[in-house]
């Protein structure tokens, strides 16, 4: 075992011992549209007309896309939330859309919705707990030294992890990412950063995306969080709107009860 692997495993142990943390979660889509075949030779006049039509179409298309998406870039998604390693649960709010995971089930939908109104899905790869669990399978580490991140010194490693070893250390099922060969699951590459002895950032690249989790505020108190509904960290008005919607569907009048406490990020 190299010193780098020992340092990483010690950081994993310290992070899990803290039990809870604040997290930021980001996904960057890396897919590209396939290239079209080269067009056949055209006359200069016809080609000029095609170019004009393409230019006009792109202008109209971009305007319609900006209007439909309100300038949101769906290729880059960011969320705020909390993780509870001891309780095997986490919650993320993207702003009007949220996800919540407890044990081996995950719920997603409009921020603030009660879990009882949503179907449960099985856990996914690259989720916050999955990324931390993967660290248990690290068996090789390439030390890249310390780097300054937001005024803090974090130690960066390029690592590989054996998914079978990571999965063997827990009772819950661990989803497998898509790979061409089984052997690739025994040496999954990713990057991680350690700061103050904790796991601070984990970055994992899949076929069409790069997912990154950043941890802070270790040992955070989560007693005031409502785990019976999707969180509203980035969209505080969603909880009231969703509650009133469901009460209207049930034929009830909105009551004057206060919203479940949500911790600000």
Say which DSSP state 33 is in: P
* pLDDT at residue 29, rounded to an integer: 86
Domain count of the fold of the chain: 1
Residue 47 lies in a domain: no
Residue 60 lies in a domain: no
* pLDDT at residue 50, rounded to an integer: 61
* pLDDT at residue 243, rounded to an integer: 62
Residue 67 lies in a domain: no
Range of the domain at 233: 3-32+80-249
Residue 207 lies in a domain: yes
The neighbour count for residue 147, using CB atoms within 10 Å, is 11
Assign residue 106 the CATH number of its domain: 2.50.20
Residue 241 lies in a domain: yes
Tens of pLDDT, residue by residue, the chain (265 residues): 468 999 999 999 999 999 999 999 999 987 655 555 555 555 666 666 666 666 666 555 555 545 444 445 668 899 999 999 999 999 999 998 999 999 989 999 999 999 999 999 998 899 999 999 999 999 999 999 998 988 889 999 999 999 999 999 877 778 999 888 999 999 999 999 999 999 999 999 987 899 999 999 999 999 999 999 999 988 777 666 666 776 666 655 444 433 444 454 4
Tokens of 247: 């009460």
Provide the greatest CA pair distance for the chain.
72
Q: In what order do the strands lie in the sheet with 188-195?
A: 105-110, 97-102, 89-93, 76-84, 20-29, 209-216, 198-205, 188-195, 152-161, 138-149
DSSP strands (E only) in the chain:
20-29, 76-84, 89-93, 97-102, 105-110, 138-149, 152-161, 188-195, 198-205, 209-216
Residue 44 lies in a domain: no
Q: Is 44 exposed, middle or buried (0-12, 13-18, 19+ CB in 10 A)?
A: exposed
Q: How far apart are CA 57 and CA 120, in angstroms?
A: 41
* pLDDT at residue 71, rounded to an integer: 47
Give the β-pairing of 105-110 and 138-149. Answer: unpaired
* pLDDT at residue 68, rounded to an integer: 42
Residue 261 lies in a domain: no
* pLDDT at residue 69, rounded to an integer: 44
* pLDDT at residue 261, rounded to an integer: 43
Say which DSSP state 36 is in: P
Residue 110 lies in a domain: yes
* pLDDT at residue 141, rounded to an integer: 96
């Amino acid at each position: 075992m190299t010193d780098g692997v020992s340092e990483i495993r010690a950081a994993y142990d310290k992070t899990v011992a803290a039990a809870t943390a604040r997290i930021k979660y980001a996904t960057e889509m890396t897919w590209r549209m396939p290239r079209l075949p080269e067009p056949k030779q055209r006359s200069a006049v016809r080609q000029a007309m095609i170019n004009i039509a393409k230019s006009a179409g792109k202008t109209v298309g971009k305007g319609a896309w900006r209007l439909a998406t309100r300038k949101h870039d769906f290729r880059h998604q960011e969320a705020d939330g909390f993780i509870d390693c001891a309780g095997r649960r986490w919650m993320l709010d993207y702003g009007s859309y949220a996800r919540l995971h407890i044990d081996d089930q995950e719920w997603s939908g409009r921020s603030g919705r009660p879990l009882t109104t949503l179907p449960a899905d099985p856990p996914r790869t690259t989720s916050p707990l999955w990324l931390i669990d993967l660290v248990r399978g690290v068996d090789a580490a390439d030390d890249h030294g310390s780097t300054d991140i937001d005024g803090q010194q974090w130690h960066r490693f390029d690592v590989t992890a054996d998914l079978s070893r990571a999965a063997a250390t827990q009772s819950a099922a661990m989803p497998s990412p898509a790979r061409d060969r089984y052997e690739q699951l025994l040496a999954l590459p990713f990057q991680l950063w350690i700061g103050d002895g904790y796991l601070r950032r984990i970055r994992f690249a899949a076929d069409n995306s790069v997912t990154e989790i950043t941890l802070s505020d270790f040992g955070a108190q989560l007693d005031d969080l409502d785990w019976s509904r999707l969180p509203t960290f980035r969209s505080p008005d969603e909880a009231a709107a969703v509650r009133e919607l469901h009460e209207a569907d049930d034929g009830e009048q909105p009551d004057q009860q206060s919203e479940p406490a949500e911790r600000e990020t």
